[in-house]
Structure 1
Amino acid sequence: MKSKSKVLTFGDLIASIYGACDPRRAAGLLRLAANAQLLSFPGQRRVSVQPAKG
């Protein structure tokens, strides 16, 4: 009989990467994965900031 397994969240993934190696290498791995489009950041949108007219 199988037990219910815990769903891996995005935060769990980030925490496990930072727990496995030093912060600099973890940040590099995440940057590489994001640039290679292996990871996507749901809900994150780029906001363009423009100076106020006046």
Structure 2
Amino acid sequence: MNKANLIIEEVNKVIIGKEKVIRKVWMTILSGGHVLLEDGRYAIGCGRFLLL
């Protein structure tokens, strides 16, 4: 198993049930890009997304 998958597994131990989001955020971090996280409970783009 590569290091990227090991990191994702460790994060999944703390943040449960958000594996798809964690993988997308991790890919963005590795590629040096930007990501806008949204949560339906708040206004779009207000930066209040919780991975909990």
TM (normalized to structure 1)? 0.36
Query: TM-score normalized by structure 2?
Result: 0.36
Q: Which has the larger radius of gyration?
A: 1
Report which structure shows greater RCO (CA 8 Å, sep ≥6). 2
